[in-house]
Chains A and B, each alone.
Chain A
Amino acid sequence: MIGRWMNILTAGLITGLWTITVAAQSQVDFQTPQSPVAREVYDLHLIILGICVVIFVGVFGVMLYSIVKHRKSVGHKAAHFHENTTVEVIWTVAPLIVLVLMMIPSTKVLLLMRDASSPDMTIKATGYQWKWGYEYLQGEGEGIRFYSTLATPRDQIEGRAPKGQNYLLDVDNPVVVPVGKKVRVLTTAQDVIHSWSVPALGVKQDANPGFIRDAWFKADTPGVYRGQCTELCGKDHGFMPIVVQAVSPEKYTAWVAGQKKMMVATAVDPGKQWTLDELKARGAKVYSGNCVACHQATGKGIPPTFPALSGSQVVNGPKEGQINVLLNGVVKQGKPTAMVSFKHLSDADLAAVITYTRNSWENKTGEAVMPVDVKTQRK
């Protein structure tokens, strides 16, 4: 009997020690705030937490005192009072006053947080299942647009390779912003609701399909700030991170110049004739960035929501049909399906990925679809 209790006690102690060790090593606080709003929120939380701790100590002090002193086993006889109007009025009114006081700083911080007026630059963030698209709408860098997808390899996620330092928090193209500039972020979405969140910058704003909302931040210091989509958006909700890279204004100008140069370079001559292999190679990249999450690397999909491409009638049928699916999405019985339109991709990318799917797995059409084919069908 004693042995058993000793075991339980030991297990309890080990659990307790483990908890303390983990707590000592891990982060038990907000991420270090890196923007004016995040700093205000951090301080506000401390005030509220402080008030809670004081009330906690007061209430449970009395409870603990009663538990120790007013036990039957120490011979305490029960008193019989069960009402006291004065006390009840006090403990109704006092919390009310504390709450009103709490509302003063809370209101101030909220008004600051929601004031996205007169920004230095504006970026539109569009949520897709499951990646982010960015467009620099106004300010330095206007016209830059790109997609930002998870850069962590599948092998790390599925345990075939050791996990890297920024596991699940790394993207191919981060959002680059200058420090000290007020950046307004407009959020919207293509398919379902997503949420654009970067904790260190104090931003979280839902991205609702068909509507535009805004938020803002101003990064204090250069650095890389990471966040994740925070509104459940389907299967790969956990795999669409957000990375904001804040750089000095000079570096930002250089980055903008680099982006502009690249945009010119990647603008493909629409009449160019591609070889099958060129298209397949480019298509493989487009596929892994846009299609693999649903249709899978094997092309077998996850039926019935995400149908197989391997052996598919559409993919092995006339190319016009497949181009139509990619440009317009699939609508069944009047409602959109998970296959949304991919018309935001370039003609070259669409032609490449179509060619890739028509010549991979069980599909052996041997056919190359040219960018010009897509261009003709694009309306």
Chain B
Amino acid sequence: MEAAHAHGHAHGHDDHAHHPYGIMRWVTTTNHKDIGTMYLWFSFAMFLVGGVMAMVIRAELFQPGLQVVNPDFFNQMTTLHGLIMVFGAIMPAFVGFANWQIPMMIGAPDMAFPRLNNLSFWLLPPAALLLVVSLFVPGGGASAGWTLYAPLSVQLGMGMDLTIFAIHILGMSSILGSINIITTILNMRAPGMTMMKLPLFVWTWLITAYLLVAVMPVLAGAVTMILTDRHFGTHFFNAAGGGDPVLYQHIFWFFGHPEVYIIAIPAFGVVSQVIPAFSRKPLFGYTSMVYATASIAVLSFIVWAHHMYTVGMPVVGQLFFMYATTLIAVPTGVKVFNWVATMYKGSLTFETPMLFACGFLFLFTMGGFTGLVLSITPVDVQLHDTYYVVAHFHYVMVAGALFSALAGIYFWLPKWTGRMYNETLGKVHFWLSFVFFNVTFFPQHFLGMAGMPRRIPDYALQFADFNMLSSFGAFGFGLSQLLFLYVVVKTITSGEKAPQRPWEGADTLEWTQLPSPPPYHSFETPPVVK
């Protein structure tokens, strides 16, 4: 073990010299750590852009009446906020984790296809640029919601075309990245690292990568059909030409539901590393966690139409999708029970990563419960397209995916940078995020139950109080994330030196075998896993 450690060290210093410096280092890099870092910074930048859009939305909704923006621009904001957060912020953040962590956790020197890896990342900035530029073309950005439902999306201006191309490029990036991840995990494990010894984070990414390869082409197909309906005389979604607008929704959600798990499953993986580490106790039910994750992935392909209970499908179809959807509660429940059982009789400490993981566990489960409520077709008909749904998916996306990503950042930052973050500021960041998140989104359940539709720039007076509260929470949540930026920058520039293994209970290869920070090229000689 010691030998491998010293070996890695020596190489790390040598290899820096062979690389270009300055901007060209980042443009040409094929190193999984550099690319991981770029993914993470890119996703944070997109998180801020999408966040500013959320602030515009909440500013308009602060009071009844139209004050800040016009309804058309409001719709552009909700659309781009959704697209940018899903495709620009959350997905790249977890690919960033995958890049940094998968090779180090399985004892591989790098990703299987390093040049492809470079391409996967560099496809993202042009796509992001297309999305942002679309706001400034005649007619403005796409304003049909992130779901881009036809025929509304067929009506819009050229901003919609730019959005379609952005989605094509983002899809290519995801597919290439996924192929790389699958190949790396299947072929590049260190001797002795059998599949059932893989850290759970690696397992979750393997499953996610398969989901991505399966559904990103479906989304690309759906938006291409919109493109041809718009410009090339096809009538896929136009009843007058023999098409059906609901067909778009079927195709979109065949992608869209697995997409929810593409976001959630890597988040499960991060939390499954953090909770055992700070419980100082191995993950409870490792095998059942792997099977539960795989079942969630499989089930995610047969529940898509629960997003469409009000389109008027046959009642037998509604029954099928209701039964299939509630089934997902079983493996998801197993995961939650396993995490709690891991904490049970552990020796718990609550550093920032653990706080975010517990915040995840608590709030994600709440999102799971509202998900169960929404899976019941007759109840969903009452709540569909209201703020209850907005609250539900922000509990799953923000308190689920984002909190888990933040847990992961605080957890691995000492390893990646070799420096410790400021624990007090980290904890303040958690508590501000936790409180403001709930102030923002909890009242939205009530708004939805009382009947406030989503995607409206103005609302009836009985919704005014909760909306003001929600906006107040959103501004607080947004500002709190600037504290996060400060904490990260401070860590990188002047954090205290981190030991190889700052967390007592962390036992995967990057902690036990590699110094902090790890050498530029780690595991050139694979470690032996017993």
Q: How far is the CA of A158 from the CA of B145 in the complex (A)?
A: 24
Q: Is A70's beta carbon under 8 Å from chain B? A: yes
Q: Which of A63, A113, A233, A302 has the most CB of B within 10 A?
A: A63
Contacts of A28 in B (CB 8 A): 446, 449-450
Q: Is B37's beta carbon under 8 Å from chain A? A: no
A76 touches B322 (CB 8 A): no
Q: Is B346's beta carbon under 8 Å from chain A? A: yes
Q: Majority SS of interface residues in chain B?
A: helix
A232 touches B327 (CB 8 A): no
B344 touches A82 (CB 8 A): no
Q: Is A344's beta carbon under 8 Å from chain B? A: no
Q: Is B529's beta carbon under 8 Å from chain A? A: no
Q: Mark B280-310, 1 if CB is under 8 A from A, else 0.
A: 1111111110000000000000000000001
A159 touches B348 (CB 8 A): no
Closest residue of chain A to B249, judged by CB?
A193
Q: Is B352's beta carbon under 8 Å from chain A? A: no
Contacts of B138 in A (CB 8 A): 303-304
Closest residue of chain A to B138, judged by CB?
A304
Q: B369 touches which one: A56, A114, A305 (CB < 8 A)?
A: A56
Q: Is B323's beta carbon under 8 Å from chain A? A: yes
Q: A208 touches which one: B246, B349, B362, B461 (CB < 8 A)?
A: B246
Question: With A92-B334, A235-B71 given, is the CB distance from A72 to B347 under 8 Å?
Answer: yes
The minimal Cβ–Cβ distance linking B493 to chain A, given in whole angstroms, is 24
Contacts of A26 in B (CB 8 A): 446, 450, 462-463, 465-466
A79 touches B345 (CB 8 A): yes
Q: Is A67's beta carbon under 8 Å from chain B? A: yes
The minimal Cβ–Cβ distance linking A80 to chain B, given in whole angstroms, is 7
Q: How far is the CA of A104 from the CA of B451 in the complex (A)?
A: 26
The minimal Cβ–Cβ distance linking A250 to chain B, given in whole angstroms, is 30
Q: Is A202's beta carbon under 8 Å from chain B? A: yes
B435 touches A206 (CB 8 A): no
Q: Is B6's beta carbon under 8 Å from chain A? A: no
User: What band does the interface of chain B fall in when counting residues whose beta carbon is under 8 Å from A?
Assistant: 35 or more
Question: With A63-B340, A230-B385, A230-B386 given, is the CB distance from A106 to B322 under 8 Å?
Answer: yes
Contacts of A235 in B (CB 8 A): 71-72, 75, 143
A44 touches B286 (CB 8 A): no
Q: Which of A77, A187, A335 has the most CB of B within 10 A?
A: A335
Q: How far is the CA of A60 from the CA of B363 in the complex (A)?
A: 11
Q: A52 touches which one: B154, B372, B443, B451 (CB < 8 A)?
A: B372
Q: How far is the CA of A76 from the CA of B318 in the complex (A)?
A: 50
The minimal Cβ–Cβ distance linking A161 to chain B, given in whole angstroms, is 10
Question: With A27-B450, A63-B340, A96-B330 given, is the CB distance from A206 to B233 under 8 Å?
Answer: no
Closest residue of chain B to A210, judged by CB?
B239
Q: Which residues in chain B, 192-249, are within 8 Å of chain A measured between CB atoms?
A: 229-231, 233, 238-240, 244-246
B318 touches A110 (CB 8 A): yes
Contacts of B456 in A (CB 8 A): 228, 237-238
Q: Is A31's beta carbon under 8 Å from chain B? A: yes
Q: Is B492's beta carbon under 8 Å from chain A? A: no
The minimal Cβ–Cβ distance linking B7 to chain A, given in whole angstroms, is 32
Q: How far is the CA of A26 from the CA of B376 in the complex (A)?
A: 26
Contacts of B348 in A (CB 8 A): 66-67, 70-72, 76
B346 touches A59 (CB 8 A): no
Contacts across chains A and B counted by CB atoms under 8 Å? 321
Q: Is B458's beta carbon under 8 Å from chain A? A: yes
Contacts of A349 in B (CB 8 A): none
Question: With A26-B462, A209-B151, A234-B143 given, is the CB distance from A95 to B333 under 8 Å?
Answer: yes
B382 touches A234 (CB 8 A): no
Q: How far is the CA of A28 from the CA of B452 in the complex (A)?
A: 12
Q: How far is the CA of A192 from the CA of B435 in the complex (A)?
A: 39
Q: A114 touches which one: B279, B311, B315, B459 (CB < 8 A)?
A: B315
A12 touches B435 (CB 8 A): yes
Q: Is A6's beta carbon under 8 Å from chain B? A: no
Q: Is B149's beta carbon under 8 Å from chain A? A: yes
Q: Is B12's beta carbon under 8 Å from chain A? A: no
The minimal Cβ–Cβ distance linking A14 to chain B, given in whole angstroms, is 11
Q: Is A195's beta carbon under 8 Å from chain B? A: yes
Q: Mark A84-116, 1 if CB is under 8 A from B, else 0.
A: 100110011001100100110011011101100
User: What band does the interface of chain A fall in when counting residues whose beta carbon is under 8 Å from B?
Assistant: 35 or more
Contacts of B458 in A (CB 8 A): 157, 168, 238-239
Q: How far is the CA of A165 from the CA of B64 in the complex (A)?
A: 12
Q: Mark B458-481, 1 if CB is under 8 A from A, else 0.
A: 111111011011001000000000
Question: With A67-B348, A214-B312, A238-B456 given, is the CB distance from A48 to B372 under 8 Å?
Answer: yes
Q: How far is the CA of A45 from the CA of B449 in the complex (A)?
A: 11
Q: Is B144's beta carbon under 8 Å from chain A? A: yes
- Name the segment of A16-24, A252-260, A271-279, A356-364 touching the other chain: A16-24
A82 touches B229 (CB 8 A): no
Q: Is A298's beta carbon under 8 Å from chain B? A: no
Contacts of A25 in B (CB 8 A): 465
The minimal Cβ–Cβ distance linking A317 to chain B, given in whole angstroms, is 24
Q: How far is the CA of A12 from the CA of B434 in the complex (A)?
A: 12
A159 touches B337 (CB 8 A): no
A95 touches B65 (CB 8 A): no
Q: How far is the CA of A193 from the CA of B283 in the complex (A)?
A: 48
A45 touches B346 (CB 8 A): no
A167 touches B460 (CB 8 A): yes
Q: Is A62's beta carbon under 8 Å from chain B? A: yes
The minimal Cβ–Cβ distance linking B312 to chain A, given in whole angstroms, is 3
Q: Is A338's beta carbon under 8 Å from chain B? A: yes
B460 touches A113 (CB 8 A): no
Q: How far is the CA of A156 from the CA of B63 in the complex (A)?
A: 13
Q: Which residues of B contact A (CB under 8 A)?
A: 64-67, 71-72, 75, 138-139, 143-145, 149, 151-152, 154-157, 229-231, 233, 238-240, 244-246, 279-288, 310-312, 315, 318-319, 322-323, 326-327, 329-330, 333-334, 336-337, 340-350, 358, 361-362, 365-366, 369, 372-373, 376-379, 381-382, 384-386, 435, 439, 443, 446, 449-451, 453-463, 465-466, 468-469, 472, 505
Q: A62-B340, A230-B310 are in contact. List 8 more A-B contacts (CB 8 A).
A: A59-B336, A72-B347, A81-B345, A168-B460, A210-B240, A230-B385, A232-B144, A238-B459
A-B contact pairs, 10 of them (CB 8 A): A26-B465, A56-B365, A78-B347, A95-B333, A99-B330, A111-B315, A192-B151, A204-B310, A231-B310, A305-B157
